[in-house]
Amino acid sequence: MKAVIQRVSQASVTINNEKVASIESGLLILLGIVAEDSQEDIEWLTRKIANLRIFSDENGVMNRSLIDIEGDAIVVSQFTLHASTKKGNRPSYIKAAKPNVAIPLYEGFVKRLEEALNKTIQTGQFGADMQVELINDGPVTIIIDSKNVE
């Protein structure tokens, strides 16, 4: 499971000219899922994201987590995070999980993040053509892969 986490001062998702998600201070999370992902990946990744200290404290030091600031989050499914670009010029998405595997894991991730943050998490729509707008605060962008823990 791979996530691109962006600290935002605002973000939104629009589908068919309808805004389906909108937040102020918090995180925009782009989530890519592979067939090998499991509940263990969900648990590890949600715990990591909820507790990641990337928000400024009163001294301007990144020392506060999403939990600490009671921030919001939008989770957007993005299979292209698992694109293979090694050969040729057309990315291959063969590593990305098929919808029958990815959808339950995506929904499980959102549910577990809601539990960790004790609040409703906004989302895009799995498989939809979405327009994602954001103001990246910092900018702070972090990539986390549950299979490549460093």
Q: In angstroms, how far is CA 119 from the centroid of its own chain? A: 16
Structure tokens at 66: 């999403």
Supply the pLDDT for residue 91.
92
pLDDT tens track for 66-124: 999 999 999 999 999 988 898 889 999 989 999 999 999 999 999 999 999 999 999 99
How many domains, the chain? 1
Catalytic: which of 6, 46, 55, 78?
A: 78
46, part of any domain: yes
67, part of any domain: yes
87, part of any domain: yes
Q: How far apart are CA 108 and CA 116, in angstroms?
A: 12
Query: What CATH number is attached to the domain comprising 127?
Result: 3.50.80.10
Q: How far apart are CA 54 and CA 66, in angstroms?
A: 8
Q: Is 120 a catalytic residue?
A: no
Q: How far apart are CA 113 and CA 43, in angstroms?
A: 9
Cα dihedral across residues 84, 48, 127, 14: positive or negative: negative
With residue 100 as reference, give the H or E element that holds it.
Answer: helix 99-117
Question: Whole-prediction pTM value?
Answer: 0.94
102, part of any domain: yes
pLDDT tens track for 17-44: 999 999 999 999 999 999 999 999 999 9
Q: Is 79 a catalytic residue?
A: yes
150, part of any domain: no
- Cα–Cα separations (whole angstroms), residue 15 to 33, 103, 133: 21, 18, 12
Owning domain of residue 51: 2-145
**Closest-CA residue to 19 (of 105, 93, 102, 122):** 122
Catalytic: which of 6, 46, 55, 79?
A: 79
